[in-house]
Amino acid sequence: MIIRQIDYSFQIPTITAIFLSTMSKNILIVDNYDSFTENLRHLLMQVRPDYKFTVIRNNDRVMFDSHWDGLVISPGPKGPADTGLLKEFFESRVIEEKMPLLGVCLGMQFLAWYYGLRVKPSDDARHGRTVTIDTTGNDIFKGLKDPLKVVRYNSLAIVEPAEFIEEKTALQVTAIQSDSKMIMAIRHRDLPFSAVQFHPESFLTENAEAMMNNFFRDYIDD
Amino acid sequence: MIEYNSKKLETPQIPELFNAVDHFGGISLFSSQTDDDREYTGINPIIILTEEQLQYGYEKQTISDPMKALDKLISAHSYLPEELSILGYLSYDFKDRLEEKGLYERRTQGIFPDLYFAIFEHYIISGRNENKAEIYTLEFPFDYKSVALNLFPFSKTPEEKISRYKGTSMNKKQHMKGVSQTVKYIREGDIYQANITRAIYGETEFSPVENAVNLYYSNRIAYGVFACIPGGHVISTSPELFFKTEAGHITASPIKGTIMRGNSHYKDDKNREELLQSEKDIAELAMIVDLLRNDLSLVSIPGTVKVPQFPILMTLENVFHLYADVKGELIPGKGTGEILKQIFPGGSITGCPKIRSCQIIDEIERVPRGIYTGSFGKIGFNGDSIFNIMIRSLFQSENTIIFNVGGGITLLSDGEEEYEETIHKGANIWKAIRMENIQEEQYYTEE
């Protein structure tokens, strides 16, 4: 990528800035010491081969040192408060810069928790199970089939029902599990944050690439 | 330069082969499957890599990064024929030395080295299906203790011998408590699954070769080991591959889910369908497949890690299993040492997510696992490698024996059933070493 950037800047300097920004973006993946982070990175790289994805563990201050065009929060063990420097980074950088964000599993729970929702052990814990979800058909689900089969790995879930979330918080619900009301995806009303409870990086989740493509197109691409 | 010569050999009997390993020191990796019956044996280790040093004959060098040293050792000898290999292992306890400092406490069992790889003076490559064998003998360009390899018959002593039970690292009560703690961690969102195991201790009247021969004939498996190394003897009847690399590709084939074969056509079909429809087994297999996809992705070109078919039915003599292949195209230049550094230990014996599972295992299991659930393997000088998962293994140091049993704990696991399962899992070992197949509780009085 660096070589290409230099080439273009030599030839057509006036439109370089615009051109480069459509060509490449710097995306941070915060890894919550998870075992699916590489699956996620490879999925994202397939969808945006020209973007640069950097994985940094959640307790590594290095994440504060660079400019990022977007943030992806990985799944991970424990609860939303057990995410190292993530809260500090989220407050000082993500909100501040309106940095586009995609949260996965613990990543979604972090977002929900940050905006005041409760995340607790659920009676419907599932690990490696395929479930059907109903989506709003917008945001990252635009143009995808509905309902959709996705894979879940979570014991914890958002406690509050969709109606409460819509009324009382800045978040909107974009998908729920068909056979229960478990919150399966949310977005922020005004900020560029979107998140899913299920695992798009699992090999058994349908339409994961299209979903990620929607995220990049609506949130990050120029 | 190491010189070598090779010649054909009459296929040695298993007891003869194990006898030679025992007598001169060495490692034999074997498959005893009906259609794939062979051994790969290194005898008299000359170049030895351990955690802190690299030894050439009598001369020792201190090293700082054993995984790098391993890759250097392979590339430095790439002129040797592709039939020759480095053999060795990583103990499960070695995991803390491959991760970020502070994530795991440093544990070590202290009986065997935590890491051991060697280039040997003699290699016997034997295939029982074709009934042929070849021996390679290496000549090293430095001083070393050479042995003239002679295979001598192994005479089984006629008297009746037994092994005696001496205790366990977790009795029934402790094991059940460990299971319920694990379930609590799963409910609280720490992990999705963890493998909880315990050690069983004993004393045996059998020699290591006798135990190895008895275990060899107890089962037909693909990833067996008999090794005579510093600390004692290692005998494994592992059916499980960790990974293999071949011509720039890496493959793992995780197994989950087991059901007995039926004794009639009807019953056999019924059991097969039951396994194929088992949501629990398919979910557990999906989890380990996702975990291995992740680990292989650490060393593979993005976009190349695939699961061609899911799930696949494996039909064995006594049981059906479910499994799947996970395949990737390796990033050029990744040596086996580097691959091990990134993906060890195997996800099927930790749990998921792996790091948190390993921490929980360290907390719940009272003693270090040692080599158990580590990986033994072979790295060819052409770079191709194959590593197993060290389960169903017996460790013998003089007349002291240890073996370990355990299982995957999920949200719905029941302590009583899991404990029973650990006893069943050891069935072949109990029987082969003639240890009283006990209801262990009888050995304990209430605390």
Q: How far is B230 from B89, CA to CA, in rounded Å?
A: 13
Instruction: Tell whether the model's pLDDT for residue B446 goes beyond 50.
Output: no
Q: How far is B129 from B427, CA to CA, in rounded Å?
A: 28
Q: Which residues contact A216 (CB under 8 A, 6 or more apart)?
A: A47, A48, A51
**Amino acid at position B292, single letter:** L
CA distances B403 to A204, B83, B219, Å, are 37, 32, 16
Q: Is A83 helix (H, G, I), strand (E, B) or coil?
A: coil
What CATH number has the domain bearing residue B198? 3.60.120.10
Give chain B's mean pLDDT. 94
- The DSSP line for B329-376 is EBPTT--HHHHHHHHPSPGGGTEESHHHHHHHHHHHSSS--TTTTSEE
Residue B238 included in any domain: yes
Q: How far is A34 from B104, CA to CA, in rounded Å?
A: 15
Q: What is the pLDDT at residue A4?
A: 34
Q: How far is A92 from B88, CA to CA, in rounded Å?
A: 49
Instruction: Tell whether the model's pLDDT for residue A2 goes beyond 80.
Output: no
| pLDDT-derived band at B42, boundaries 50, 70, 90 | very high
Instruction: Tell whether the model's pLDDT for residue A124 goes beyond 70.
Output: yes
CA distances B367 to A17, B108, B199, B359, B383, Å, are 59, 9, 8, 13, 35
Q: Which residues of A touch B279 (CB under 8 A)?
A: 129
Query: Would you call A153 an interface residue with chain B, using a CB distance cutoff of 8 Å?
Result: yes
Domain count, chain A: 1
What is the CB-side half-sphere exposure of residue A64 using CA atoms within 13 A? 11
- Number of separate helices (H) and strands (E) present in chain B: 10, 23
pLDDT in tens, B85-127: 999 999 999 999 999 999 999 999 999 999 999 999 999 999 9
Q: Average pLDDT in the B227-247 region?
A: 97
Q: How far is B65 from B80, CA to CA, in rounded Å?
A: 24
What is the CB-side half-sphere exposure of residue A71 using CA atoms within 13 A? 32
* Residues A112, A171 contacting (CB under 8 angstroms): yes
Is the model more confident about B231 or about A1? B231
Indicate the burial class of B201 (C-beta count within 10 angstroms; 0-12, 13-18, 19 or more).
Answer: middle
- Domain containing residue A204: 8-219
| pLDDT-derived band at B153, boundaries 50, 70, 90 | confident
Q: What is the pLDDT at residue B318?
A: 79
Query: Would you call A200 an interface residue with chain B, using a CB distance cutoff of 8 Å?
Result: no
Instruction: Tell whether the model's pLDDT for residue B437 goes beyond 80.
Output: no
Residue A2 included in any domain: no
Q: What is the pLDDT at residue B154?
A: 73
**Amino acid at position A87, single letter:** K
Q: Average pLDDT in the B300-328 region?
A: 93
| pLDDT-derived band at B208, boundaries 50, 70, 90 | very high
Q: Average pLDDT in the B127-147 region?
A: 96
Q: Which two tokens stand for residue B318?
A: 């006594």
Nearest to B322 by CA among B340, B346, B348: B348
Largest CA distance in chain A: 61
pLDDT in tens, A14-40: 444 444 445 799 999 999 999 999 999
What CATH number has the domain bearing residue A163? 3.40.50.880
User: Closest Cα of chain B to A201: distance in Å?
Assistant: 8
Q: What is the DSSP letter of B95?
A: G
Query: Would you call A170 an interface residue with chain B, using a CB distance cutoff of 8 Å?
Result: no
Q: Cβ B290–A37 below 8 Å, yes or no?
A: no
Q: Which residues contact B277 (CB under 8 A, 6 or more apart)?
A: none
Q: Average pLDDT in the A59-83 region?
A: 98
Q: Which residues of A touch B352 (CB under 8 A)?
A: 35, 153
Instruction: Tell whether the model's pLDDT for residue B145 goes beyond 90.
Output: yes
Q: What is the pLDDT at residue A16?
A: 46
Q: How far is B361 from B97, CA to CA, in rounded Å?
A: 16
Q: Average pLDDT in the B313-337 region?
A: 92
* Residues B152, B19 contacting (CB under 8 angstroms): yes
Q: How far is B145 from B48, CA to CA, in rounded Å?
A: 13
Residues 269-288, chain B, touching A (beta carbon < 8 A): 279, 282-287
| pLDDT-derived band at B158, boundaries 50, 70, 90 | low
Q: Which residue among B188, B193, B294 sits closest to A127, beta carbon to beta carbon?
A: B193
Q: What is the pLDDT at residue A33?
A: 98
- Domain containing residue B102: 3-145+161-445
Nearest to B40 by CA among B133, B114, B106: B133
Residues 132-151, chain A, touching B (beta carbon < 8 A): 151
Nearest to A193 by CA among A110, A86, A116: A110
Residue A152 included in any domain: yes
Query: Would you call B293 an interface residue with chain A, using a CB distance cutoff of 8 Å?
Result: yes
Q: Which two tokens stand for residue A170?
A: 């800045």
Instruction: Tell whether the model's pLDDT for residue A86 goes beyond 80.
Output: yes
Domain count, chain B: 1
Residue B150 included in any domain: no
Residue B155 included in any domain: no
Residue B341 included in any domain: yes
Query: Would you call A84 an interface residue with chain B, using a CB distance cutoff of 8 Å?
Result: no
Q: Which residues of B touch A201 (CB under 8 A)?
A: 290
pLDDT in tens, A165-192: 999 999 999 999 999 999 999 999 999 9
pLDDT over 70 percentage in chain B: 97
CA distances B413 to A127, B172, B254, B280, B408, Å, are 13, 15, 21, 11, 9
Residue of chain A whose Cα is closest to the Cα of B293:
A39
Phi then psi dihedrals of residue B61, to 5 deg: -120, 145
Q: Which residue among A45, A79, A199 sits closest to B189, beta carbon to beta carbon?
A: A79
Instruction: Tell whether the model's pLDDT for residue B79 goes beyond 70.
Output: yes
User: Closest Cα of chain A to B358: distance in Å?
Assistant: 12
- The DSSP line for A10-62 is HH-HHHHHHHHHHH--EEEEEE-S-SSHHHHHHHHHHH-TTSEEEEEETT-GG
Residue B256 included in any domain: yes
Lowest-pLDDT range, B247-251, B289-293, B356-360, B428-432? B428-432
Q: How far is B95 from B345, CA to CA, in rounded Å?
A: 6
Q: Average pLDDT in the B190-212 region?
A: 96
Q: How far is B182 from B67, CA to CA, in rounded Å?
A: 32
Q: What is the pLDDT at residue B152?
A: 76
Q: Which two tokens stand for residue B7?
A: 């010649």
pLDDT over 90 percentage in chain B: 87
Q: Average pLDDT in the B187-200 region?
A: 97
Active site residues of A: 105, 199, 201
Nearest to B353 by CA among A29, A150, A125, A75: A75
Instruction: Tell whether the model's pLDDT for residue B53 goes beyond 50.
Output: yes
Q: What is the pLDDT at residue B423?
A: 86
Q: What is the pLDDT at residue B219?
A: 86
Q: Which residues on adjacent β-strands are paired with residue A186?
A: A173, A195
Overall residue count recorded for chain A in this entry: 222
Report strand pairing: A193-196 vs A101-104.
parallel
Residue A23 included in any domain: yes
Instruction: Tell whether the model's pLDDT for residue A220 goes beyond 60.
Output: yes
Q: How far is A25 from A153, CA to CA, in rounded Å?
A: 29
* Residues B132, B126 contacting (CB under 8 angstroms): yes
Query: Would you call A118 an interface residue with chain B, using a CB distance cutoff of 8 Å?
Result: no
